[in-house]
Chain A
Amino acid sequence: MEITKFKANLPIYLQVSDLLAERIIRGSYPVNSKVPSVRELAEELTTNPRTIQNALKELIDAQILITRRGQGNFVTADRSKIVELKQQRVKQKTAEYLDSLQPFLSWNEIITAVEKEIAKRREQ
């Protein structure tokens, strides 16, 4: 059994909510399905249950998860919400990536580098 390690200098609940969002986008937690309980997630990810509650709250506030009283939390049946979530993630990750390269590369150099790397990975 391995402990999931989170970055120690960023709020853990945000990292957990990112991780859960990725599982929803990937379909590991399918549309309309129940996500694991606070306790199950706390044990799986070895974090404090309160952290899990805060992470779930982020996704509930964003209407990605829907709370059904007495039943737990469910992935929204509204697929457009998930598409939106995915687009948000793409935008966020792309921005992070560009921010890390922009100080020393031109746009064209970044595009060339990305294309080269993709071509290489396709061959593998």
Chain B
Amino acid sequence: MSAQGLELQHVGYKKMTKVILNDISVKIPLGRLVVLLGENGVGKTTLMRVISDLNKGYQGKVCLNGVSDERRKSLISFSDNLSSFRSKISLNDVIAFYQQGYPDFDLQRVNELLNFMRIDPLQRLGSLSKGNREKFVIALTLARRTRLYLLDEPLSGVDIFSRDKIISSLVKWIDNDSLLLISTHHLSELEQVIDDVLILKDQTMLEYRNVEDIRQQEGLSVEEYYRQTYLEH
């Protein structure tokens, strides 16, 4: 059995007595870009937090490259909304903070990404527009050299040009040794860059499927397929 990749075994999560996630089992190999789909409130963010071991007390097992205890945290880069930083802090200072906090943080990589996205690191965090703030978050998240990248709604509230820029930067940073999991409501923009979709519905996983298979076997776009599958079940 190959231990490379992300494996969930009967993963569930409850908040008090309310079931948020129920019995999710899936195996995702490294080297893939996966989109996490599901309507608002279905538990996409919760699933990412469980995978990152930020939500404790979940049921089942989460295993990343053979590591299933909390040590897997060091293999995961989860997009942060940066709300713990004061607005007056400069981007460079945020970057310095990341560099100190994460030994796998790659300064050259963050600078390349910021340069590509045309973000000036001398700016203050509070002066960034929503789109530029998203880009900055993505640059910080992808700048760690790690195995699993979790991006929670990286395209929300971002204009189409910034979205294109973000999507192009995702393509640049895909490699065979890592895995990107992205939650989004902007599926159509991501269709041609993703490998697989993971669909959540009613607290559990409806499907995990390769997108080229969907196009080849169903003759549908991923968005059409998602809509159809969602309504059928």
Contact = CB atoms under 8 A, between A and B. Distances in A.
A38 B33 CA distance: 16
Given A47-B193, A48-B33, A51-B212, A8 B188 contact: yes
A1 B164 contact: yes
B174 A49 contact: yes
A42 interface: yes
B215 interface: yes
Nearest to B33: A48
A11 B216 CA distance: 6
Interface of B: 31-33, 164-165, 167-168, 171-172, 174, 188, 191-195, 212, 215-216, 219-224
Nearest to B225: A9
Which label, helix, strand, loop or mixed, suits the secondary structure of the A interface? loop
A97 interface: no
A60 interface: no
Given A8-B215, A50-B32, 8 more contacts: A8-B192, A9-B219, A46-B193, A47-B171, A48-B171, A48-B193, A49-B174, A50-B31
A2 B163 CA distance: 11
The 3 closest A-B pairs by CB, nearest first: A8-B221, A9-B221, A11-B215
Contact of A46 (B168, B212, B216, B222): B168
25 contacts: A1-B165, A1-B168, A2-B164, A3-B167, A8-B192, A8-B222, A8-B223, A9-B219, A9-B221, A10-B215, A11-B212, A11-B216, A12-B192, A12-B212, A12-B215, A42-B174, A46-B164, A46-B171, A46-B192, A47-B171, A48-B195, A50-B31, A50-B32, A51-B192, A54-B212
Contacts, number: 60
Contacts of B215: 8-12
Interface of A: 1-3, 5-6, 8-13, 42-43, 46-51, 54
B33 A8 contact: no
Contacts of B165: 1
Contacts of A1: 164-165, 168
Contacts of A6: 192
A50 B195 contact: yes
Contacts of B32: 50
Contact of B171 (A2, A5, A11, A42): A42
